[in-house]
Amino acid sequence: MIIDGHNDLVLQRWRGEQPGHTRLEDAPAAGFAGGFFALYVPSPGTPDPPQIPYSVPLPDPIPHETAVATAEELLETLCSLPVARAESAADFVAGRVTAIVHMEGAEPIAPDLSNLERWYERGLRSVGLTWSRPNAFGEGVPFRFPSGADIGPGLTDAGRALVRACNTLGILVDLSHLNAAGFWDVARVSDRPLVATHSNAHALCAASRNLADEQLAAIRDSGGVVGVNFAVTFLREDGANVPETPLTEIVRHVAYLAERMGVDHVAFGSDFDGATIPAELDGIAGLPKLVDSLRAAGFGDEDVAKITHRNWLRVLADTWSGR
Ligand code: ZN
């Protein structure tokens, strides 16, 4: 069974495009059991990373009303997919695809949090406080290479209140896309495991979206997890957007994270349909090939089970128990 930290299938379908990576008909043969399905309200003209080095400025904020209207359409799109929706870790079972409703950027949540419970009732179980843009809660990290993530201010008062409210309701708080100051604010405020659903090791690829070793240590110490992102620009040492990147680059990050944090804190966070991934992986159908590569690199049955699904299940169970 494979549980995954991030896909953009909903956005593809909302745009009327056919999925490139997240072809659900391939799920049974690949053992794909679902994971985080992003509701992402698009910023206009998000560029592909240009030539290295690059520094893409943060896009303009998305107004709350616009974000609500679009997110409602995105949720309807998700509900039209042939997937179950996750309310507890036990909802993930072999033989079907289960979706965690994940907001990538909290713009559809009112800054006074007045509609947060309504979103929860509609299935929301995971919130990325920011995408790579500023909002009422904090500031995302701009796409840069090479660069660290220490760019811009931390969480606002509303951001800290949102983290506390998510802890109370049992909504996972996702750190991917958040800048460094925001990351450390969440680490101080949250009483749940720290989670980066789709980010990699900065020591191996110096993209601003990747996690520094101190951040990895904080995630480990909290009992959290990092979902390894399959985007070639966050995998490769040179940060280049090259589809002919071998999938052993994914294994390289898994191995590094397992060495730094322990294998209990590493999982997958594919970014399917949201990024250029290694061509030989191609999507859901290629996941067994990736598992074979993990085994070839020395990961045994127990480790593979943790990386492919057990770590996600543990963190979901620890996070979704509201009070
Ligand atoms: Zn993302």
Q: In sequence order, which residues have a C-beta less than 8 Å from that of residue 259 and are 6 or more positions away?
A: none
pLDDT at 323: 47
Cα–Cα distance between 77 and 91 in angstroms, integer?
Answer: 20
- pLDDT single digits (tens) 205-262: 999 999 999 999 999 999 999 999 999 999 999 999 999 999 999 999 999 999 999 9
Whole-number Å distance, alpha carbon 165 to ligand 1 midpoint, is: 23
Yes or no: say if 282 and 240 are a contact pair by the CB < 8 Å rule.
no
Is 2-319 assigned to CATH 3.20.20.140? yes
Cα–Cα distance between 286 and 165 in angstroms, integer?
Answer: 38
Cα–Cα distance between 228 and 265 in angstroms, integer?
Answer: 10
To the nearest whole percent, how much of the chain has pLDDT over 90?
Answer: 96
Whole-number Å distance, alpha carbon 177 to ligand 1 midpoint, is: 7
Helix/strand/coil for 195: strand
Whole-number Å distance, alpha carbon 40 to ligand 1 midpoint, is: 8
| Average pLDDT, integer, range 126-135 | 98
DSSP state of 296: H
Q: What does the mean pLDDT of the chain come to?
A: 97
In sequence order, the β-bridge partners of residue 140 are 178
C-alpha 54: how far from chain center: 22
**What are the DSSP calls for 73-86, one per residue?**
HHHHHHHTSS-EE-
Whole-number Å distance, alpha carbon 262 to ligand 1 midpoint, is: 24
Instruction: Give the chain's end-to-end CA distance (angstroms, integer).
Output: 30
Q: Is 45 left (phi over 0), alpha (psi -120 to 50) or beta?
A: left
Whole-number Å distance, alpha carbon 8 to ligand 1 midpoint, is: 8
Whole-number Å distance, alpha carbon 293 to ligand 1 midpoint, is: 25
Cα–Cα distance between 62 and 108 in angstroms, integer?
Answer: 9
Amino acid at 320: W
Whole-number Å distance, alpha carbon 321 to ligand 1 midpoint, is: 25
**What are the DSSP calls for 40-106, one per residue?**
--PPTT-PPP-SSSEEPPPPPPPPHHHHHHHHHHHHHHHHTSS-EE-SSGGG--TTS-EEEEEEESS
Amino acid at 303: D
Q: What's this model's pTM, rounded to 2 decimal places?
A: 0.98
Closest CA to 188 of 152, 156, 160, 213: 160
| Average pLDDT, integer, range 167-182 | 98
Yes or no: say if 133 and 97 are a contact pair by the CB < 8 Å rule.
no
Whole-number Å distance, alpha carbon 104 to ligand 1 midpoint, is: 7
- pLDDT single digits (tens) 51-73: 899 999 999 999 999 999 999 99
- Residue tagged 């695809």 (tokens): 97
Cα–Cα distance between 273 and 21 in angstroms, integer?
Answer: 5
Whole-number Å distance, alpha carbon 270 to ligand 1 midpoint, is: 10
Provide the token pair at 238.
Answer: 């040179």
Yes or no: say if 222 and 167 are a contact pair by the CB < 8 Å rule.
no
Closest CA to 226 of 39, 111, 217: 217
Of 37-51, 84-98, 150-164, 254-268, least confident by mean pLDDT is: 37-51
Whole-number Å distance, alpha carbon 198 to ligand 1 midpoint, is: 7
Whole-number Å distance, alpha carbon 268 to ligand 1 midpoint, is: 13
Whole-number Å distance, alpha carbon 166 to ligand 1 midpoint, is: 20
- pLDDT single digits (tens) 261-292: 999 999 999 999 999 999 999 999 999 999 99
Helix/strand/coil for 199: coil
To the nearest whole percent, how much of the chain has pLDDT over 70?
Answer: 99
Residue 322 has pLDDT above 80, yes or no: no
Binned at pLDDT 50, 70 and 90, residue 46 comes out as low
Domain ranges of the chain: 2-319
Residue 144 has pLDDT above 70, yes or no: yes
Provide the token pair at 229.
Answer: 């992102």
Q: HSE of 132 in the Cβ direction (CA atoms, 13 Å)?
A: 19
pLDDT at 177: 98
| Average pLDDT, integer, range 106-124 | 98
Binned at pLDDT 50, 70 and 90, residue 19 comes out as confident
